Amino acid sequence: MYRLIAVYSAVALSALLAPFVALVYYGYGPFFSGAAFSEGLFRSMGVTMLASSTAMLINIAFFTQVAYYAARRGNAIISALTDVPASVPHPIVGIALVLLASPQTAIGRFLNSLGISLFDSYIGLVAALVVVSAPVYIRSAQSYFESLPREPELMALSLGAGEARVLWYVFRSSARGLLSSGLTAMSRAISEFGAVAIVAYYVSGPPFGLASPASVYIWSSFEAYYLSAIPEAATLLLFSLAVLAAAHAVKRN
């Protein structure tokens, strides 16, 4: 029985991954061009790399506690709320962020009074990436916490250790697992287009000047001439896979 399932699984996964294999083959084969390593592409990838790394750090800092609580309490409400950003079309995420930071809302007027703008800014790009990648981080970190034995935590509490001290010990000893979850979410952030295209089609300011995130840059190339976008898309795909491979390597070790 398992041999049959293994064969079926191999066929199904091959069909699932075939478009990406074709993209790399044609991008670095018949349709290869200098666009695969152009200055504009690397500048856009630099913007995406910096913003997705920042989003990863924010996810770890703010959502680790959510993942831990969901793992230990199994709260259905938290699970449902976590799924909201992942369940809606991501252009809606971009529209919601632009609205939230606009002068039409109290929060937007407050942010504007501080000189903070989410539209076409690095802050807006990071905000969009946090919203779309946080559910991935929470789910991954939750699975990691669920795999940990609870006995050491319960024993420490029974011996008089405070909750804050126990949590600090758990989080510190879970650094490798949380980094793996963070890199998995970062890989998701790198690939985001829908929210990013609305909030931060361009990002202005140092150190990149005026540049688009990588997904938007490739989309612009596709609109101009789709064959030129193939090697660029292949490069971004390999970059995303490298981050995902790093996540799995950290988890295994």
Contact 214, 161 (CB under 8 A): no
Residue 38 Rama label (left phi>0; alpha psi -120 to 50; beta): beta
Helix (H) or strand (E) holding 211: strand 209-211
Q: Which residue in the block uniquely carries the two structure tokens 């039409």?
A: 104
**Which pLDDT value is given to residue 34?**
86
User: In the beta sheet, which residues pair with residue 203?
Assistant: 211
Closest by Cα among 237, 238, 232, 209 to 219: 232
Domains of the chain: 31-252 (1.10.3720.10)
Other CB atoms within a 10 A radius of the CB of residue 27 amount to 24
Q: What is the pLDDT of residue 1?
A: 60
CA dist 12 and 18 (Å) reads 10
The per-residue pLDDT for 149 is 80
pLDDT at position 126? 95
Q: How many whole angstroms separate alpha carbon 165 and alpha carbon 144? A: 20
Given this model, what pLDDT does residue 171 score? 84
CA 44 centroid distance within chain: 16
Q: Are strands 209-211 and 203-205 parallel, antiparallel or unpaired?
A: antiparallel
Give the pLDDT of residue 253: 64
Q: pLDDT at position 117, please? A: 84
Give pLDDT, residue 173: 84
In this prediction, residue 53 carries a pLDDT of 95
Residues of the chain with pLDDT under 50: none
> Tens digit of pLDDT for each residue in 41-62?
999 999 999 999 999 999 999 9
Give the model confidence (pLDDT) of 188-221 as tens digits: 999 899 999 999 998 877 667 788 999 999 999 9
